[in-house]
């Protein structure tokens, strides 16, 4: 049950204001709408989602006024990360290499590398912090033939709205997901 709810919430990670029709959710989750509807109703009952009905159309969106929604988003972000780590050994290796810097920096993979590390393509890595990653960058290029394309900002204050939208469209947050969710909500002005 938790997995199904987390999978539903993951659909909202790229746009907190997005509304989904019941059929869209079923298509995205590759499940019949009769299977997911009880989970959606449970989220509505908990006031995590808002349900809107118009004639034959049912629409669901995040209840951004409920502060508990942030916790659901954090769990969904972490599950997305875990799924990716378990699926891809190279992604796991990058995660391990960066983990020693997690305390003072935030790392986000964005762009096409969030789905898979394709041969010949680079890895877009967004860094919030001042950590030098020259050794890791060199190592990945030499050992794995993967170029890290690093975009770095010293703090969230230097983030532009355009960059925030670009990263949020397709991302995996490696650490500090709660901080990033609050930042993205501020960009959206939705909570």
Model confidence pTM above 0.75: yes
* Residue 158 clears pLDDT 90, i.e. is over it: no
| Residues linked to residue 125 through DSSP beta bridges, in sequence order | 109, 150
CA-CA distance, 114 to 123, in Å (whole number)?
9
In whole angstroms, what is the distance from residue 174 CA to residue 106 CA?
A: 7
Q: What is the pLDDT of residue 187?
A: 84
Task: Give the model's confidence band at 120: pLDDT under 50 very low, under 70 low, under 90 confident, else very high.
Answer: confident
C-alpha 89: how far from its chain's center? 19
Instruction: Decide if 21 contacts 59 (C-beta within 8 A).
Output: yes
Length of the chain: 191
Q: Has residue 58 got a pLDDT over 70? A: yes
CATH 3.30.460.10 fits 80-188, yes or no: yes
Parts of the chain belonging to CATH 1.10.10.10: 2-62
**How large a percentage of the chain has pLDDT more than 90?**
77
Best CATH choice for the domain 2-62 from the list 3.40.50.720, 1.25.60.10, 1.10.10.10, 3.90.230.10: 1.10.10.10
Better-predicted residue by pLDDT, 160 or 74: 74
Place of tokens 């997995």: 3
Distance CA 93, CA 88 (A): 9
For residue 191, pLDDT over 80 is answered with no
Long-range contacts of range 35-38, CB-CB < 8 Å, 24 or more positions apart? 36/4, 36/8
Average pLDDT, the chain: 92
- For residue 189, report the phi and psi dihedrals to the nearest 5 degrees: 60, 45
Going through 17-144 in order, the beta strands assigned E by DSSP cover: 19-21, 49-54, 57-62, 106-110, 123-128
Whether the per-residue pLDDT at 133 is higher than 90: the answer is yes
């Amino acid at each position: 049950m938790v997995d199904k709810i987390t999978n539903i919430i993951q659909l909202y990670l790229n746009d907190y204001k997005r509304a989904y029709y019941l059929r869209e959710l079923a298509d995205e989750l590759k499940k019949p709408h009769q299977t997911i509807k009880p989970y959606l109703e449970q989220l509505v009952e908990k006031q995590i989602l808002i349900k809107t009905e118009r004639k034959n159309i049912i629409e669901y969106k995040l209840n951004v006024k409920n502060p508990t929604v942030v916790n659901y988003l954090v769990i969904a972000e972490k599950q997305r990360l875990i799924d990716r780590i378990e699926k891809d050994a190279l992604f796991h290796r990058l995660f391990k290499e960066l983990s020693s810097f997690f305390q003072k920096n935030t790392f986000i993979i964005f762009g096409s590398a969030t789905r898979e590390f394709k041969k010949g393509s680079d890895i877009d890595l967004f860094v919030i912090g001042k950590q030098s990653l020259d050794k890791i960058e060199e190592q990945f290029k030499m050992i794995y033939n993967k170029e890290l394309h690093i975009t770095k900002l010293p703090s969230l204050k230097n983030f532009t709205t355009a960059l925030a939208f670009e990263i949020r469209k397709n991302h995996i947050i490696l650490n500090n997901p709660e901080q990033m969710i609050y930042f993205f909500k501020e960009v959206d002005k939705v909570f």
